[in-house]
Amino acid sequence: MERTLCIIKPDAVKKKVQGSITQMILDAGFNIIGMKMLHLSKKQARKFYEVHKERPFYNDLVDFMTSGPVVTIALEKENAVADYRNLIGATDPAEAKDGTVRKLFANSKQENAVHGSDSVENGKIEVGFFFAESEL
């Protein structure tokens, strides 16, 4: 079983669609093994998105991700990383396929409703960023 991390981002929590997104994830066959709502600090957001620190959108991304509460969800399933990326769709909702989470709920390339891990290795690392093994 693979693990992957979902973050329901501040735009989606503000729109009150965290329940709809969670239901889509469950309907797609994922097991939720951990879930928490929290308001990220700047320090946490900077660390989480450290791989993007040289990108022009990094500071805006940190501001956005700390603009309101998020819901972090640890997911488990066979082929979880790729299956979850398919469920959420492309980073830019204008390019996301019909029926994907981002097509349905994202506002823009930045405010794109959800995070998803990009590799099996990062799935493990990112779940560990928010959850102690004893919580899962």
Residue 115 interacts, among Mg ion, ligand IDP, none and using kind-specific CB cut-offs from 5 to 8 Å, with ligand IDP
Residue 67 · residue 10 · CB < 8 Å: yes
- Best CA proximity match to 22, nearest among 6, 38, 37, 3: 6
Segment holding 70, helix H or strand E: strand 70-77
Annotated catalytic, 115?
A: yes
Q: Which one among 112, 123, 126, 127 touches ligand IDP, defined by CB under 6 A?
A: 112
Q: Where are the beta strands (DSSP E) in 18-82?
A: 31-38, 70-77
Q: Return the DSSP state at 97.
A: P
- Best CA proximity match to 6, nearest among 100, 116, 129: 116
Would you say 118 or 121 has its CB closer to ligand IDP?
Answer: 118
As measured in angstroms, the least distance from the Cβ of 71 to ligand IDP is 15
End-to-end CA distance of the chain: 14
Indicate whether 87 belongs to the interface with ligand IDP (CB under 6 A): no
Indicate whether 57 belongs to the interface with ligand IDP (CB under 6 A): yes
Q: Which one among 60, 95, 118, 135 touches Mg ion, defined by CB under 5 A?
A: 118
Indicate whether 20 belongs to the interface with ligand IDP (CB under 6 A): no
Q: Which of the residues 25 through 54 are near ligand IDP (CB under 6 A)?
A: 52
Query: Catalytic site residues?
Result: 115
Binding stretches for ligand IDP (CB under 6 A): 52, 57, 61, 91, 109-110, 112, 115, 118
